[in-house]
Amino acid sequence: MSTARRFDPILLLAAPAVAYLTVVYGLPLLFLLGRSLLGAGGVSAFAGFFADPFSWTVLGNTVRSAALVTLVCLVIGYPTALVLARAGGFVQAAILVAIILPLSVGVVVKAFAWQIVLRRDGVVSQIFTGLGIWDEPQRLLFTETGLVIGAANIFVPFMILPIYSVLKLVDPRLGEAAATLGASPVYRFFKVAIPLSLPGIITGIAFVFSMAASMYVIPSLVIGDRFQTLATLTGRSFLFMRNEQLGSTTAVVLLALTIGIVVASSRLSRRLGGAA
């Protein structure tokens, strides 16, 4: 292993990418951090932010909606990934296209489409009233439920694809082996399939959660002005209130939140991946 520590000239190939990222990503981040710290209040900008109960509402909105979106994506995405991994030939290609193609449709277009689906006389409302679940048509538009449904629709491919890529590598005979030892399908699912696909699940969760926590266009179109998240508050601080320090502060809090999730999940994924 010690030889691996020697400088490998092939690492130089990464230099352009590193240089590029430093300039377009690293430096601006540093400026952002600097601005949040070195403004009029210094560290007190963060103290002020966390002392304000409204900030906690915003933080709560961000984490709760992102967590719900992630949960919905996981519940929908896992079985889809399982089917995708087991399917072959044309069926697999068709499912993959169905998952990937919608990514090419703009978020704004999708948000407008959800507006039609979720309104009072929309399809969802009609189905629920038709089935007798609702007594009268309800509005899902501009509610947190609507936001979660809309966002999950947009982010679900980012849950399916990592899980699928892990499941594809799992030997299907492991399940069969468990079955010959008398494991029931439910037992097999929870004790064999899920643990083996955990690295994919964790990666998917990290992807979806970090994207859902920082989404900007979807909440502003699907739920409007009345539901502030860290991302929308950041945009508003910079664009309308011209309060750069507040904007930088909320942006740094959001960054810390998503970095935390990504780092924690990649650690977890590495440990579990090693165990698997």
Partner 1 sequence: MDVLSARPTRRSLLSGAAGAVSLIAAPSILRAQTKELVVGGAAGHKPWVEQVVVPAFEKKYNCKVLFEGTRSLVNLEKMQKNKGKQYMSVVQMDDPVMILAVKEDLLDPLTPGKAPNLSQLVPGSSHMEGMWANYLQPWLGVAYSKGAMKTPPSSWADLFDAKYKGRIIIPSLQNTEGLPVLFAAGMLAGGTLEAIQKDTDAGFKKLVSLKPNLLTIYTQQPQAYNLLEQGEAYMIGPAMSSYALERKAAGAPIDLVAPKEGVFAMPSGIAVIKGAPQAELAFAYVNELLGAELQEKLAGPTFSLATNKAVPRPAGLSADVTIHQIDWANVAAQRNDWIKRWDREMAI
Torsion sign over Cα 226, 227, 233, 238: negative
CB of 145 to partner 1, least distance (A): 11
Helix, strand and coil in the chain, % to nearest 5: 80, 0, 20
CB of 54 to partner 1, least distance (A): 5
> Are the CB atoms for 258 and 241 separated by under 8 Å?
no
Stretch in the footprint of partner 1 (CB under 8 A) among 6-14, 71-79, 191-199, 224-232: 224-232
From candidates 195, 224, 263, 264, binder to partner 1 by CB under 8 A: 224
Stretch in the footprint of partner 1 (CB under 8 A) among 95-103, 115-123, 158-166, 168-176: 115-123
Stretch in the footprint of partner 1 (CB under 8 A) among 32-40, 128-136, 188-196, 219-227: 219-227
Q: Would you say 5 or 226 has its CB closer to partner 1?
A: 226
> Are the CB atoms for 208 and 69 separated by under 8 Å?
yes
Binding string, residues 118-137; x marks residues near partner 1 by CB under 8 A: -xxx----------------
Q: What is the DSSP letter of 101?
A: G
Stretch in the footprint of partner 1 (CB under 8 A) among 31-39, 141-149, 205-213, 264-272: 141-149
Binding string, residues 231-270; x marks residues near partner 1 by CB under 8 A: -----x--xxxxx---------------------------
How many Cα atoms sit within 13 Å of 2 on the Cβ side? 0
CB of 120 to partner 1, least distance (A): 6
* Distances, alpha carbon 109 to alpha carbons 91, 106, 118, in Å: 28, 5, 14
220 binds partner 1 (CB under 8 A): yes
How is 216-271 classified by DSSP, letter by letter?
Answer: -HHHHHHTGGGS--HHHHHHHHHHTS--HHHHHHHHHHHHHHHHHHHHHHHHHHHH
Q: Name which of residues 167 to 206 contact partner 1 (CB under 8 A).
A: none
**What is the residue whose two structure tokens read 């981040």?**
29
Tokens standing for residue 62: 């961000």
225 binds partner 1 (CB under 8 A): yes
In degrees and rounded to multiples of 5, residue 122 shows phi and psi of -80, 175
Chain residues in the site for partner 1 (CB under 8 A): 54, 57, 112, 115-116, 119-121, 139, 141-144, 220-221, 223-228, 236, 239-243
